[in-house]
Structure 1
Amino acid sequence: MLNITKEFPGIIANDNITLKLKRGEIHALLGENGAGKSTLMSVLFGLYQAEKGEIRKNEEVVKINNPNDANALGIGMVHQHFKLVEIFTVLENIILGVEPNKMGFIEKKEAKKKVMELSEKYGLMVDPDALIEDITVGMQQRVEILKMLYRNNDILIFDEPTAVLTPQEIKELLQIMKGFAKEGKSILFITHKLNEIMEVADRCTVLRKGKYIGTVDVKDTTKEELSRMMVGRDINFTVDKEKMETGEVILSVRNLTVASKTHKNNAVKNVSFDVRAGEIVCLAGIDGNGQTEFVNALTGLEKPSSGSITLCGKNITKSSVRQRSIAGMSHIPEDRHKHGLVLDYKLEENLVLQRYWKPEFQKRGFIKFDAVRKYAERLIEGYDIRSGQGPITITRSMSGGNQQKAIIAREIDKEHELLIAVQPTRGLDVGAIEYVHKQLVARRDAGKAVFLVSLELEEVMNVSDRILVIYEGEIVGELDPKITTVQELGLYMSGAKRDIVKEINDAG
């Protein structure tokens, strides 16, 4: 990609960027949220057209007007937010657009055989007859990868592929990527996670604010050097926090049970614990062990089967989402698109979603737009939310990381006693992660209660004051991060510790 320039209203997303990919290499693309990485890859995949510059494949200049042109050139892409039809099966999604047919009828048997051969060859086991809406996010990603392999793509673009995966799935994906490179496929890998770049990438190109900063050989660089190139300053990888005395109980959960929507067993089983003012309690576990259902019950998105939830001494078990918000709960949700934002609203409208009915923003039922604008401008500056047109930017057009920053700004800035933060740093760059961790610690230091749900072991160990481990819907351990190890935490998360304790108890 030579001298690529791509502009949007109010912003130059890619400013004269050159990127060269060799055959059989894993080339990482690194940059802050909104640096222009996804835009550059969308130009390569034909979703956007560049105003200036050219693309060459094997020295030949090529014109890519749409994704079909990209596929014809052997270029495939796994998007940050998957492009799958939820009510279709795995097989139907993989063959969509290139369906083998005879006399107008789809030859599913032949397609299924090819998909199963590919899934076995690359260790991407899937159930071809399962509906997309019924499978995990990790499985959905496998479907996206199989879509590329089914089309015989030899240039594979992975846009933030590990943002939604468990540590185990990440390990598997990195191995799969190494296998692709050995076969001679070329991989462009967008990520914020420096550990992953150090583990699998051959070279790394860094972008900052839409500009090309440089390309380095990964074996000759360090995490610190890459982070400095990315954000233009040194990053503190440790979380600084003073010892705090805890106060009164803010959140009290007693015997909470939540039914599962996908199977007969309960997703959450008889869970009880307290979170006090001035502490960060983290719920750690491998994805799919009941965290989502538990948080949904806490925040009012789902009704528990039994048990009670008390916030600041008030029973909120049957309260609505708004009632919980008014009672002092803030919520950074797991799925920013589904539960965090109205994507086709302006940024300023999203920033007041939790408080537009308050007197400062409305009078006799009419919104005071000047007040909303001023408030949005303050949050945009205070939380470094980058958007092309400031408060009036349509939220859908913003980068995933900046959408996340908007939610964090809204939830932290509103009055609250309890902050529930679910995967708050998912998809954020190291600079933004450092900032979010500081904000969580600042909430705790201000005497608020923070309930963090995270899959990132480093984050769990660094940020929390207490760790609750969830396994198959039950709390199987309470750990102190100052005296526990990552290995011990891993044993609890995998259920091994519970099984050992159970064996000892059974033996009497």
Structure 2
Amino acid sequence: MLNITKKFPGIIANDNITLKLKKGEIHALLGENGAGKSTLMSVLFGLYQAEEGEIRKNGQVVKINNPNDANELGIGMVHQHFKLVEIFTVLENIILGVEPNTAGFLKKKEAREKVINLSEKYGLRVDPDELIEDITVGMQQRVEILKMLYRDNEILIFDEPTAVLTPQEIKEILQIMRDFAEEGKSILFITHKLNEIMEVADRCTVLRKGKCMGTVNINETSKEELSRMMVGRNITFSVHKDEVKTGDVTLSVKNLTVASKTHKNNAVKNVSFDVRGGEILCIAGIDGNGQTEFVNALTGLDKVSSGAIKLCGEDITKSSIRRRSILGMSHIPEDRHKYGLVLDYKLGQNLVLQRYWQKDFQKSGFIKFDAVREYAEKLIDEFDIRSSQGPDTIARSMSGGNQQKAIVAREIDKEPELLVAVQPTRGLDVGAIEYVHKQLVARRDAGKAVLLVSLELDEVMDVSDRILVMYEGEIVGELDPKIATVEELGLYMSGAKRDVVKEINDGGK
């Protein structure tokens, strides 16, 4: 990609960027949220057209007008925000656009065999007949990767492929990348995770605010140097926090059971625990073990089968989402597009989604637009939300990391009694992760309760004061992050080890 420039209203997303990919290499693309990484890859995949510059493949200038052109050139892309049809099955999504057929009749049997063979070869096991809307985010990630493998692409673009995966799945994905490179495939790997770059990449190109800061060989650099190139300052990788001082019980969950939407068994089985003011309690577990269903029931998105939830002493088991919000619950959701934002609303509108009806923002049923704009500008400034047109930016047009920052800003600024944070740093760069972790600790130090649900082992160990491990819908262990090891946590998460837990926080273990 030579001298690529791509502009949007009010912003130059890519400013004269040159990127060269060698055959059989893993080339990392690193940069802050909104640095232009996904835009550059979208130009390569034909989703955008650059105003200046050219793309060459094997020395020949190529014109990529759309993703079909990219696929014909052997270029495939796993998108950060999945391009899947929710009401189609896994198999239908994988073959969409390249359906095997004879005289116009679909031949699903051959496609199914190829998908099953690929999934077994690369350890990406999926059920071809499940609907996309019924599977976890981690499973949807696998479907995206299988889509690319099914098309036999030789240049593979991975846009934040590990953002929603468990530690074990991340290891598998990184190994798959190595296998691809050994097979002669070339990989462009967008990530914010410096550990992964150091582990698998051969070279790394760093972008900052739309400009290329240079390309370095990984064996000649360090995490600290890469982070400096990326954000222009030194980053603290450890989380600093004082000793925990717990107060009264803020959230009490008793014998909670939640039905599964995809099978007859319950997704959450008889779960009980308390979260107190002044502590960060983390629920850890491999994706698909009931955390999503538990959080949906807790926040009012789904119904509870049995059991009780109390917030600040009030029973909220059957309360509306607004009632929970008024009582002091904030929710950073797992899926920012589905539950976090109205994508076609402006950023300013999204930042007051849960407050527009309060007297600060409306009078006699009419929105006070000046007040909304002023409030949005305050949050944009405080949380460094990069948006080309400020409060008027359409949420859909923002980078994934800046969409996440907008949600974090909205939920934390409500100053909740209980902050339910699900994968709060998903897709964020190291500078933004550092900031979000400080915000979580600040809520805790202000005497408020934080319930963190995370798949990131480093985050689980560094940020939390207590860890509960969920496996197959049950709490199987309680760990103290000061004395527990990552290996021990991994054993609980995989179900290989479990405490005899009767009722944590209700008589002890």
1:156 is matched by which residue type in structure 2?
A: L
Q: In the alignment, which residue of structure 2 is the partner of 1:21?
A: 21
Q: Which moved more, 1:91-100 or 1:381-390?
A: 91-100
- Cα distance change, pair 494–126 in 1 and its aligned pair in 2 (3 A): closer
Unaligned runs of 5+ in 2: 503-509
Q: In the alignment, which residue of structure 1 is the partner of 2:321?
A: 321
Q: Percent identity of the aligned residues? A: 85
| CA apart distance, 1:107 | 2.6
The within-5 A match list for 1:5-404 is 5-404=5-404
| CA apart distance, 1:158 | 0.6
Q: Distance in 1 between matches of 2:108 and 2:491?
A: 43
2:320 is matched by which residue type in structure 1?
A: S
Q: In the alignment, which residue of structure 2 is the partner of 1:441?
A: 441
Q: Distance in 2 between matches of 1:11 and 1:170?
A: 34
Give the secondary structure class of the aligned counterpart of 1:489: helix
- Cα distance change, pair 500–251 in 1 and its aligned pair in 2 (3 A): closer
Does 2:456 correspond to 1:456?
A: yes
1:347 is matched by which residue type in structure 2?
A: L
- Cα distance change, pair 440–123 in 1 and its aligned pair in 2 (3 A): closer
| CA apart distance, 1:149 | 2.5
Q: Distance in 2 between matches of 1:40 and 1:318?
A: 46
| CA apart distance, 1:15 | 0.5
Q: Which moved more, 1:353-362 or 1:102-111?
A: 102-111
2:32 is matched by which residue type in structure 1?
A: E
- Cα distance change, pair 313–136 in 1 and its aligned pair in 2 (3 A): closer
2:4 is matched by which residue type in structure 1?
A: I
Q: Distance in 2 between matches of 1:499 and 1:442?
A: 31
| CA apart distance, 1:81 | 1.3
2:308 is matched by which residue type in structure 1?
A: S
- Cα distance change, pair 248–122 in 1 and its aligned pair in 2 (3 A): closer
Q: In the alignment, which residue of structure 2 is the partner of 1:506?
A: none
Q: Which moved more, 1:489-498 or 1:416-425?
A: 489-498
1:397 is matched by which residue type in structure 2?
A: S
Q: Distance in 2 between matches of 1:74 and 1:38?
A: 19
Q: Distance in 1 between matches of 2:501 and 2:475?
A: 13
- Cα distance change, pair 242–339 in 1 and its aligned pair in 2 (3 A): same
Q: In the alignment, which residue of structure 2 is the partner of 1:505?
A: none
1:376 is matched by which residue type in structure 2?
A: A
Q: Distance in 2 between matches of 1:435 and 1:251?
A: 25
| CA apart distance, 1:93 | 2.0
Runs of 4+ aligned residues of structure 1 deviating over 6 Å after TM superposition are: 499-502
- Residue by residue over 1:319-374, the C-alpha shift from the partner in whole angstroms, topping out at 9 and shown as x without a partner, is 10000000111111111111111000000000001110111100000000000000
- Residue by residue over 1:403-444, the C-alpha shift from the partner in whole angstroms, topping out at 9 and shown as x without a partner, is 000001001111321111111001111100000000000111
Q: Distance in 1 between matches of 2:246 and 2:146?
A: 50
1:153 is matched by which residue type in structure 2?
A: N
Give the secondary structure class of the aligned counterpart of 1:14: strand
1:37 is matched by which residue type in structure 2?
A: K
Q: Distance in 1 between matches of 2:382 and 2:38?
A: 25
Q: Distance in 1 between matches of 2:122 and 2:473?
A: 32
| CA apart distance, 1:255 | 1.4
Q: Distance in 1 between matches of 2:120 and 2:305?
A: 40
User: With structure 2 as the length reference, what TM-score do the two structures score?
Assistant: 0.96
Q: Distance in 1 between matches of 2:206 and 2:107?
A: 44
1:11 is matched by which residue type in structure 2?
A: I
| CA apart distance, 1:500 | 8.7
Q: Distance in 1 between matches of 2:275 and 2:500?
A: 28
Give the secondary structure class of the aligned counterpart of 1:289: coil
Aligned residues of 2:3 and 2:17 also touching (Cα < 8 A): yes
Q: Which moved more, 1:434-443 or 1:93-102?
A: 93-102
- Cα distance change, pair 306–116 in 1 and its aligned pair in 2 (3 A): closer
Q: Distance in 2 between matches of 1:187 and 1:233?
A: 28
Q: Distance in 2 between matches of 1:70 and 1:34?
A: 24
- Cα distance change, pair 99–244 in 1 and its aligned pair in 2 (3 A): closer
Give the secondary structure class of the aligned counterpart of 2:130: coil
How many equivalent pairs are there?
Answer: 502
Aligned residues of 2:331 and 2:411 also touching (Cα < 8 A): yes
1:335 is matched by which residue type in structure 2?
A: D
Q: Distance in 2 between matches of 1:185 and 1:291?
A: 36
Q: Distance in 2 between matches of 1:77 and 1:32?
A: 20
Q: Which moved more, 1:143-152 or 1:225-234?
A: 143-152
Q: In the alignment, which residue of structure 1 is the partner of 2:505?
A: none
- Cα distance change, pair 488–473 in 1 and its aligned pair in 2 (3 A): same
Give the secondary structure class of the aligned counterpart of 1:377: helix
Give the secondary structure class of the aligned counterpart of 1:359: coil
| CA apart distance, 1:90 | 2.7
Q: Distance in 2 between matches of 1:130 and 1:260?
A: 14
Q: Distance in 2 between matches of 1:247 and 1:257?
A: 27
User: With structure 1 as the length reference, what TM-score do the two structures score?
Assistant: 0.96
1:42 is matched by which residue type in structure 2?
A: S
Q: Distance in 1 between matches of 2:111 and 2:440?
A: 49
